[in-house]
Structure 1
Amino acid sequence: MVMSRRGILRAGMAGGAALLGGAVVGGRAGAAVAAVNPYPAGEDSTVVALRRALDFAADNVEGPAGRDDKGRIIVRARPNHRHVLRATLIVPGNTFLDCTDARFVADFVTTGTARTMVLNRVPAATTGGYSAPGNIRIAGGSWDPTWHYLQGVTGDDFDTARPAPAMNVITMQHTSNVELDGLTIYNVKWWHAIELNAVRNATVRNCRLHGWVHDPGQGLWHGEAVQLDLAGSGNTWAGARDNTPCTDIRIVGNLCDTSGSKPGWGTLAGSHTAVDNVRHSRVWIESNTVRNTRWDAITPFNTELLYVRDNQITGCHGGVYVRGANSGVNPLTTVEITGNSVGPLTGTGRWGVGLAAYTETAPLRDVLVSGNAAPSFRYNNERWIGFRQEPQRG
């Protein structure tokens, strides 16, 4: 069951990364390439130049920075410049987008479509699996999807970010070999700082994720700073709606907290989508610092071969809570929750470390809960949970 309601908004984006092409971009030494980026009116010359550089990278044309040690074409955003994006920035495969000391804000001009500040290039509506061009690195920069909309806004309109659209910051779809390193992301409205949707082999490292505006129509558990999603019928940004899940994901060494103007996230990392016989797998959530979340600090859903290790959790509503699927046939094998430090917690009715198996057809097997410092432990529907050894209790 897909539990997100973003499908209607995403309808205008699905396949959109492919539909942006067709224009011709002029540039270096009279060269011309087909555009993968949109060129909305009103962007300054620095942003236009950045889009052109990304379009050249899509055509395997190097810029002055050359390539990095993994063969990716380096495209550098201008340091100490505020890049006001009026449409999604499309990053092609084999590209290193270096945003060190650059600032990015959104001022999108389109209406009626899903919004994300950054999306990888997905060549066609039929692109599925992990087949969109990969080997992508995005590093550094300050990113804020609501700042521009809230200038001069006060009171409840400011607190709820009413003038701003709901928006992701970084979205990766149907691709592989992704590195997101050292991004600072502020004040996302309703959705996610980073969404990995049908992605294989991705690392989110050393990012600072500050501030989130809750969608009043959804539970707080909907607010994952880093969301793992599958390419479902109503939540696919581009390419095929083929239910491809995420696998080989590392979320390591990040900070999740409040910002100066907005409260904390619902949770650092998790998911809220599932279909029969499809599971996220091989996921490591390690050595993160999580503060002041409004729901459980870390709450993976429908994920196996899962390792939640050595995280520092303070001032959150709940701690680590791993959930099986709540419908369909989705048994999970191997969940390890070890070495986490949890507490104090701010919520009632939540636990330091917990697991939930919701149905007999979606049990959890080979579960290890060991070496955690937490105020409480809870195992809901323990008859459907199989432990490797006696778990921590209390």
Structure 2
Amino acid sequence: MEKEQKLPAVFNELAETLRDISRTSNHLNEKLKSASTIVATDHPLIRADGRHDDAKGIQQLLNLADRKKGLHIVFPPGLYTLRRPLRLKPNTFFEADDNSIFRKKHHGPMLLNLRRWDRMRAYCGNGNLIIRGGTWDANFPAYRGGTSFVLAHAENVIIEQLQLVEHGGGHAIELNAMRNIEVRHCDFLGYDDRNGERAYSEAIQLDLAKARRVFPWGGSVFDQTTCQDIWIHRNNFGPSEMKGSWGRAVGSHSATADRWHERIFISDNVMSETLQWAIRAYSWRDVVLCNNRMESCGGGIAIHPNNVDGRNDTDSRNRPTGRSNPIRNFLIMQNSISGGGNYASAIRLKGDEHSPISGACLRGNHVESYPGRGVLVTGTINSLIDKETTLSR
């Protein structure tokens, strides 16, 4: 009981981390609001007419951030055609009108914060970014390339008030070795799993700088840097008019045995019709999952240590360990899970005797009209599995 009573103190510390993320975001907003402002369509190569390639002109504007302490680029309504990826520089505020559309017409990402020949380490890459507004159309299957936003080895980024639509494979956003990130008030709509080949893909993936096979875009030193201080809130994940929903809304599917994604907050989101889990916390620790609504998803919330499979159980020096990471401190509170359940449980905590889950706290969750298992818990210690979790068939 003594250890159980210490759990609230851990989550109080996490609440302070959340306040720190919010304060940093507010500071970044104020800083970039005062940056030099450019209207994109004043550039002669940016026409936003749906026919002309606008990417070259947009990139020329983005490159100006290297010469300024901050750059605010405003995109008026229009259809912006992207025939090449855009590369973000630090201290950039990319603000698009709600009636602007960025349509991909190439086989690669739409936005990256690094170049193929860069050698980014830790969190020292191109950060201090705001990406706000517009509809970003991945345009699958006309164009492939999977992932739309590729952000790696940086800190202090806000992604807000935009739509990422019509994907096939990959992710809407790859956060790889990122710190102090907010994704808020966005829509992630429409995904094709390529006939089951990519049924596990997340709309937002948290990944680490592990190896080229999991980060094929170049520019990264594979120093095993993980994600820290991530807040994903008030977003909508689901199908579009033309495609189904994502494999998973938020999660990870690669790991290293002695590394964890830490201080992850996922709150107040709506997640609909995912093929697999709505949220999969894979080799994460110090996590708050609160007040999310999951409707007709294949599974609800999964808390998993890394797999023992010869890849995910190697350590940061690529030595096999043959065991999972111990993971700890999960507050899963007031989430609503209804319908679906054709893939897995509504809530699944999967520890084992060698790598238990410690410090898990489930409180006030509600599972309704769920044909599969409601809450399935194995291998936990010093945890509070609250009887307030309600189940109705």
Query: Shared fold (TM-score greater than 0.5)?
Result: yes
Whether contact under 8 Å (1:122, 1:133) holds in the other structure is: no
The one-character-per-residue Cα deviations of 1:94-126 (angstroms, maximum 9, x if unpaired) are 110112232111111x6xxxx211001359543
C-alpha distance 185-278 of structure 1, shift in aligned 2 (>3 A): same
Rounded to whole Å, the distance in 2 between the matches of 1:123 and 1:177 is 21
Q: Which runs of 4+ in 1 moved over 4 A?
A: none
C-alpha distance 187-387 of structure 1, shift in aligned 2 (>3 A): farther
Rounded to whole Å, the distance in 2 between the matches of 1:132 and 1:75 is 20
Matched pairs, number: 319
Whether contact under 8 Å (1:247, 1:282) holds in the other structure is: yes
**What is the aligned counterpart of 1:377 among 374, 379, 388?**
374
C-alpha distance 122-336 of structure 1, shift in aligned 2 (>3 A): farther
Spell out the pairing of 1:17-32 with structure 2 (5 A cutoff): none
Which residue of 1 is the match for residue 158 of structure 2? 179
Which residue of 1 is the match for residue 229 of structure 2? 248
Q: CA deviation at 1:43?
A: 8.3
Whether contact under 8 Å (2:54, 2:82) holds in the other structure is: no
Rounded to whole Å, the distance in 2 between the matches of 1:124 and 1:219 is 28
What value does the CA root-mean-square deviation take over the aligned residues?
2.2
SS across alignment from 2:282: coil
Whether contact under 8 Å (1:72, 1:135) holds in the other structure is: no
Whether contact under 8 Å (1:330, 1:361) holds in the other structure is: no
C-alpha distance 80-390 of structure 1, shift in aligned 2 (>3 A): closer
Which residue of 1 is the match for residue 103 of structure 2? 105
Q: CA deviation at 1:308?
A: 0.5
C-alpha distance 331-131 of structure 1, shift in aligned 2 (>3 A): same
C-alpha distance 97-299 of structure 1, shift in aligned 2 (>3 A): same
Q: Please state if 1:128 is matched with 2:144.
A: no
SS across alignment from 1:191: coil
Whether contact under 8 Å (2:53, 2:81) holds in the other structure is: no
Q: CA deviation at 1:322?
A: 1.8
Rounded to whole Å, the distance in 2 between the matches of 1:284 and 1:126 is 29
SS across alignment from 2:366: coil
Spell out the pairing of 1:315-334 with structure 2 (5 A cutoff): 315-327=296-308, 328=313, 329-334=324-329
Q: CA deviation at 1:326?
A: 1.3
Whether contact under 8 Å (2:88, 2:126) holds in the other structure is: no
Which residue of 2 is the match for residue 117 of structure 1? 110
Which residue of 2 is the match for residue 351 of structure 1? 345
SS across alignment from 1:227: strand
Whether contact under 8 Å (2:55, 2:86) holds in the other structure is: no
User: What amino acid does structure 2 have at the position aligned with 1:51?
Assistant: Q
Q: Please state if 1:211 is matched with 2:209.
A: no
The one-character-per-residue Cα deviations of 1:151-198 (angstroms, maximum 9, x if unpaired) are xxxxxxxxxx3x431321111111100100011011111011111011
User: What amino acid does structure 1 have at the position aligned with 2:109?
Assistant: T
Identify unmatched segments of 5+ residues in structure 1. Answer: 1-27, 29-41, 61-70, 148-160
Rounded to whole Å, the distance in 1 between the matches of 2:282 and 2:340 is 22
Identify unmatched segments of 5+ residues in structure 2. Answer: 1-37, 39-49, 314-323
Which residue of 2 is the match for residue 53 of structure 1? 61
**What is the aligned counterpart of 1:165 among 123, 134, 144?**
144
Spell out the pairing of 1:53-92 with structure 2 (5 A cutoff): 53-60=61-68, 72-77=70-75, 79-92=76-89
Q: CA deviation at 1:45?
A: 6.5
Which residue of 1 is the match for residue 33 of structure 2? none
Q: Please state if 1:388 is matched with 2:383.
A: yes
User: What amino acid does structure 2 have at the position aligned with 1:133?
Assistant: N
Which residue of 1 is the match for residue 92 of structure 2? 95
C-alpha distance 314-366 of structure 1, shift in aligned 2 (>3 A): same
Q: CA deviation at 1:270?
A: 0.3
Q: CA deviation at 1:200?
A: 0.5
Whether contact under 8 Å (1:117, 1:167) holds in the other structure is: no
Q: Please state if 1:192 is matched with 2:186.
A: no
Higher relative contact order (CA 8 A, sep 6+): 1
Q: CA deviation at 1:386?
A: 1.8
Q: CA deviation at 1:46?
A: 4.2
**What is the aligned counterpart of 1:227 among 205, 215, 220?**
205
